C-alpha cells in the first residue's frame, strides 16, 4: 500500500478567510467587531 501524505488540519476560520474574506477584501477584524468577539475566534472558527 502506498504511503499517504497527510495534510495539516485546517480550521473553518482559515477556510472562510482563504475562500471568501480575502477575495472580498474583508479583514479578520471586521467580522470580529461586527459580532463582538476576539479576532482569534474568527480565525479559528470556534
Alpha-carbon radius of gyration of the chain: 14
Using alpha carbons, list the distances in angstroms from residue 46 to 14, 38, 40.
11, 11, 9
Domain count, the chain: 1
Which residues, given as ranges, of the chain have pLDDT below 50?
Answer: none
Domain hosting residue 30, numbered range: 12-44
Which residue is it, cell 474583508?
Answer: 26
Q: pTM (2 decimals)?
A: 0.60
DSSP 2: P
- Establish if 27 belongs to a structural domain: yes
The pLDDT assigned to 13 comes to 85
- Establish if 23 belongs to a structural domain: yes
- Establish if 38 belongs to a structural domain: yes
- Establish if 4 belongs to a structural domain: no
- Establish if 5 belongs to a structural domain: no
8 A C-beta contact, residue 39 and residue 13: no
- Establish if 2 belongs to a structural domain: no
At residue 13, φ and ψ (nearest 5 deg) are: -65, -40
The pLDDT assigned to 44 comes to 81
- Establish if 29 belongs to a structural domain: yes
Amino acid at each position: 500500500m502506498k504511503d499517504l501524505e497527510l495534510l495539516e488540519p485546517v480550521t473553518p476560520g482559515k477556510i472562510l478567510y482563504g475562500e471568501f474574506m480575502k477575495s472580498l477584501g474583508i479583514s479578520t477584524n471586521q467580522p470580529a467587531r461586527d459580532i463582538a468577539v476576539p479576532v482569534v475566534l474568527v480565525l479559528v472558527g470556534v
